[in-house]
């Protein structure tokens, strides 16, 4: 029988982070996968809950969470209603959030303590997980899906000059139609921390087993990103999902009872990788 537990822990600047843990009740000490969502994402986006169930059925615990400044709230976990928090977000803040989640998982206060964790990150979350895997020996294996190879790939380079002049820019959320604000503090964070926020440099430092998965029809983060990551770390396993788009066939909302074919292939291959 599958069980889902919900938690709310403090993240960066004391802001709460909603989390949920899915597992088989007979396997409370199963290996733990921590999933980090992408830019304009959240823990319950699309088919993420089906993915959690799939990994739990395969003998893992699956923990997913909302970054503290992703724009959702405890009351509205699937809507971007806190654009002030969204505008204040930085990649350093998100790395702090990710550390807090790993601390929670390994500390044993809310759940059975994990001696180490498997990190899985999508898109922007993939870039964050690469840095964290290089920094934190508690990460035993890494899986990235449609990961960026650099944070500046999240917006057009040509907007940066105006962004600096006005102190803020707006990125369209194509799904909701919202104009998502980003303060210049996000750029400042990149320029203050060029070493720590260099995804490719950290990719080269990873010694843990790593699976790089990417769809060959991803138009949001093109396959060249995955190829750059693989070039930085030739030991990483490389999986191209044929026909896979940026979200491997999922949508928001996703009403189907089964995983889309491309996402199912990713899950199957990832389970094989994690159980090796």
Measured CA to CA, the distance from residue 70 to residue 129 in angstroms comes to 16
pLDDT, position 265: 98
Residues 6+ apart with CB under 8 A from 31: 59, 60, 61, 114, 118, 274
pLDDT digits (tens, 9 = 90+) for 3-22: 999 999 999 999 999 999 99
SS3 133: helix
Q: 221: closest CA among 128, 146, 136?
A: 146
SS3 139: strand
pLDDT digits (tens, 9 = 90+) for 160-190: 999 999 999 999 999 999 999 999 999 999 9
Measured CA to CA, the distance from residue 165 to residue 120 in angstroms comes to 36
pTM check: above 0.85: yes
pLDDT digits (tens, 9 = 90+) for 23-40: 999 999 999 999 999 999
CATH, domain range 2-269 = 3.40.50.1820
Please list, residue by residue across 47-79, b when 16 or more beta carbons sit within 10 angstroms of its beta carbon and e when fewer do: bbbbbbbbbbebebbbbbbbbbbbbbbeeebee
pLDDT, position 187: 98
Which pLDDT band, with edges at 50, 70 and 90, does 197 fall under?
very high
SS3 140: strand
Q: What is the mean pLDDT of residues 148-155?
A: 96
């Amino acid at each position: 029988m599958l069980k889902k537990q919900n938690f709310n822990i403090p993240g960066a600047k004391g802001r709460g982070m909603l989390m949920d843990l899915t597992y088989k009740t007979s396997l409370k000490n199963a290996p733990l996968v921590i999933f980090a969502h992408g830019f304009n994402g959240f823990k319950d986006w699309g088919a993420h809950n089906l993915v959690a169930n799939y990994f739990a059925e395969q003998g893992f615990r699956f923990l997913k969470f909302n970054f503290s400044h992703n724009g959702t709230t405890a009351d509205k976990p699937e809507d971007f209603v806190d654009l002030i928090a969204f505008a204040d977000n930085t990649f350093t803040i998100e790395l702090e959030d990710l550390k807090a989640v790993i601390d929670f998982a390994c500390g044993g206060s809310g759940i059975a303590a994990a001696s180490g964790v498997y990190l899985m990150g999508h898109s922007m979350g993939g870039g964050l997980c690469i840095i964290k895997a290089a920094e934190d020996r508690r990460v035993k294996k890494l899986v990235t899906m449609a990961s960026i190879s650099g944070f500046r790939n999240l917006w057009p380079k040509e907007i940066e000059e105006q962004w600096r002049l006005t102190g803020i820019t707006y990125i369209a959320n194509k799904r909701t139609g919202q104009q998502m604000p980003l303060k210049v503090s996000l750029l400042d964070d990149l320029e203050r921390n060029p070493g720590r926020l260099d995804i490719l440099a950290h990719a080269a430092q990873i010694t843990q087993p790593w699976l790089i998965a990417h769809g060959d029809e991803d138009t949001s983060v093109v396959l060249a990103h995955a190829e750059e990551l693989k070039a930085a770390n030739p030991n990483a396993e490389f999986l191209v999902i044929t026909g896979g788009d940026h979200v491997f066939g999922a949508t928001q909302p996703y009403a189907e009872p089964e995983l889309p074919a491309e996402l199912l292939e990713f899950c199957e291959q990832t389970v094989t990788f994690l159980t090796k």
